[in-house]
Amino acid sequence: MKLRLTWWWAVAALGVLAYLYALGGMHIPSTGDEGPYLQITRLTAATGHWLPLQPAQGLGVTKPPLLFWQGLVASNWGQDWELWRFRLPIVGYTFLTALLVFWVSRSITRDTESAAIAGVAFLAFTSVFHHGRPFITNLPEVFFLSLSYFLFLLYRERSFSRNYTFWIGLGVLVGLAAWVRSIFLLAPVGLAFTIYLLWQRQWSLVEFFKHDAPRLTVFTVTVLAVFGLWFVIDPDPGAIYREFLLGENISKLNTDGYWKNFFSGPYPVFQVWLGIFRNAGFLALPLLYVCVVSLKNWPALKHEEQSLWIWILAFIIVFTVPAQRQDSYVMATMPAAAVILGMHWREIPRVWFYLFVLPLLAVFAGLIYLMLPIGQKVLPAGAYAPWHYLVPFSGLALAILSLAYNKWAPRLLMALIFLAFLSLASVMAPFEGTLGRYDAQAISSAAGKTVYVPTNFKSQFEHYHFLLPGAQIRNYDYDDEATRERLLAEGNLVIAHYPPEQSNFGPWKVLGKRLTLRNRMPEKDIAPVLQERRMDLLFRQELLLQGVKH
């Protein structure tokens, strides 16, 4: 037992390394929301005031302030403008949630190994790795919401859980989640509490309204009161109502083409219904197995496990309703899913792990397939250090080992997931170093001047404030070559992308350059990359050009 626990602590340490490695990098798995959130924080810091938040370019929408206040403090009000400073608190929320999963699982099962597996599983969920590092709202929201339900679940039989003070405390936690994301998070949490309490009252409405409805009312009023403080302290409360409540939230209930797009379109209902499996990533198949077994043996499940499924069901029900549906909307259910997975992990027949390991085997083989020609054809000699190759090759070897010695697979699978995360970081490592950064001379040339950068997504150009600190960043459309040439002809500083082999850049002076990933590669180039290993199609040399005024 002690040896097995030591193993899981070692896997957890590997997970911590995967989350912290290259945290300030430009190429970590992220979402398009990080750019606008960084921009809002930077613009707000420039005002010297906590409120009102300054809207990001092209959005014009105010948002709950808690995340941005966190960014203001982390960056010393914009004085220390480094990406890792914004992301580290988000990783802190991720680690706190993993510890919360461990604690809840330990409290339910009284088994430390199951609890360790659950905590590690949470970190191994692909969506948690994807959303639990960038400067975005998901993991703070997940932490506060999960904490509210877990406290309710674990202390339901204690006398103080019937006090209004306890329910006020739960309301404050959900109110903090609303200050991060949205007041409409009250809906799935309130539904989960309601379903659970009705279930405990044998579905008796009379008993529910007599004993539980008053506490739920206090809880709801507390959430609304905490969120309502934003209206009190913000100098422009009307913007909160117009832009946030109506513009960003109520608009998602738009019924135009609702049923036509229910099972199709950009936001089909399956993104919510299958959200926990999509979010689980490499652990989707084990979670699916546990889900089927749990539901099949529902009467025999622990009370707490049934309660965790109620939490998951409530989120699925609520987020089925909006016309815009995404799997990230049900991310707050992933801590509960991790607890359930930890409870049953050692019950999964070993033969299933042959199937579970195959996606990871493909990932390691694919990354090596790309990494070797990148090192040979795109990067200068020595750009990859030996340990960069060691990570994916070690992952591949361990994946093969887990297939050959299947009894090791249940303990190796999550370690393999973290090695996959680190392998991706290893492939991108040279682009996070000097090859992917402008040198001091280029930074000095741009300082205090306006630089025009290509972009094809909202506020994507915001990251250039980290590449060219001190420059005033403006954007132009990524594919608009005519605008680029016009800006250069007017004598401006312009960022432009060219194929790696190109050496003729016209009459413009090159002030600096770096290597970067190509943005949104066209479909026609995918086949040559995979079949002909045309790695030059994956990357672009990015130049800082000085235009010449004619």
Paired sense of beta strands 450-455 and 472-477, if any: parallel
Over residues 66-84, the pLDDT tens digits come to 999 999 999 999 999 999 9
- For residue 174, pLDDT over 80 is answered with yes
Mean pLDDT (whole number) for 159-171: 91
- For residue 89, pLDDT over 80 is answered with yes
- Report the pLDDT value the prediction gives residue 102, as an integer from 0 to 100: 98
Report yes or no: 82 and 317 within 8 Å, Cβ to Cβ. no
- Report the pLDDT value the prediction gives residue 440, as an integer from 0 to 100: 93
- Identify which has the larger pLDDT, 506 or 386: 386
- Report the pLDDT value the prediction gives residue 256, as an integer from 0 to 100: 62
- Report the pLDDT value the prediction gives residue 475, as an integer from 0 to 100: 87
Mean pLDDT (whole number) for 380-386: 88
Q: Give the confidence band of 230 by pLDDT, cuts at 50, 70, 90.
A: very high
Report yes or no: 25 and 428 within 8 Å, Cβ to Cβ. yes
Sketch the domain layout of the chain as residue ranges.
31-347, 356-435, 439-546
Over residues 359-380, the pLDDT tens digits come to 999 999 999 998 998 888 888 8
- Report the pLDDT value the prediction gives residue 40, as an integer from 0 to 100: 93
- Report the pLDDT value the prediction gives residue 255, as an integer from 0 to 100: 61
Closest to 178 (Cα-Cα) out of 90, 329, 71, 64: 64
Token duo for residue 528:
């040559």
- For residue 199, pLDDT over 80 is answered with yes
- Report the pLDDT value the prediction gives residue 109, as an integer from 0 to 100: 94
Q: Give the confidence band of 527 by pLDDT, cuts at 50, 70, 90.
A: confident
- For residue 184, pLDDT over 80 is answered with yes
Q: 3-class SS at 261? A: coil
pLDDT over 70, % of the chain = 94
- For residue 264, pLDDT over 80 is answered with no
Q: Give the confidence band of 537 by pLDDT, cuts at 50, 70, 90.
A: confident
Q: How many CB atoms lie within 10 A of CB 387?
A: 10
Report yes or no: 51 and 235 within 8 Å, Cβ to Cβ. yes
Token duo for residue 521:
């590669």
- Report the pLDDT value the prediction gives residue 341, as an integer from 0 to 100: 97
Which CATH number is associated with domain 439-546? Answer: 3.40.190
Report yes or no: 132 and 332 within 8 Å, Cβ to Cβ. no
Over residues 289-347, the pLDDT tens digits come to 999 999 899 988 999 999 999 999 999 999 988 777 788 899 999 999 999 999 999 99
Q: Give the confidence band of 60 by pLDDT, cuts at 50, 70, 90.
A: low
Closest to 437 (Cα-Cα) out of 40, 98, 25: 25
Q: 3-class SS at 477? A: strand
How far is the CA of 542 from the CAs of 20, 505, 518, in angstroms?
27, 11, 10
Mean pLDDT (whole number) for 197-206: 94
Q: Give the confidence band of 530 by pLDDT, cuts at 50, 70, 90.
A: confident
- Report the pLDDT value the prediction gives residue 41, as an integer from 0 to 100: 94
- Could you tell me the end-to-end alpha-carbon distance of the chain, in angstroms, rounded to an integer? 77
Average pLDDT over all residues of the chain: 90
Residue with tokens 């948002």: 63
Q: Distance (Å, rounded) from C-alpha 550 to C-alpha 548?
A: 6
Mean pLDDT (whole number) for 100-123: 96
For the range 234-238, what are the long-range contacts, defined as Cβ-Cβ under 8 Å and sequence gap of 24 or more?
Answer: 234/51, 234/52, 234/62, 234/65, 235/51, 235/52, 236/52, 236/62
Report yes or no: 170 and 164 within 8 Å, Cβ to Cβ. no
Token duo for residue 100:
């919360």
- Identify which has the larger pLDDT, 219 or 33: 219
In this structure, the chain runs to a length of 550
How far is the CA of 281 from the CAs of 134, 142, 376, 412, 511, in angstroms?
18, 17, 31, 16, 42
Q: Distance (Å, rounded) from C-alpha 40 to C-alpha 458?
A: 12
Token duo for residue 212:
């539980």
* Contacts with 161 (C-beta within 8 Å, 6 or more apart), sequence order: 152, 155
Highest mean pLDDT out of 345-349, 415-419, 462-466, 490-494: 415-419
How far is the CA of 115 from the CAs of 8, 308, 353, in angstroms?
10, 15, 20
Q: 3-class SS at 85? A: helix
Token duo for residue 542:
């990015």
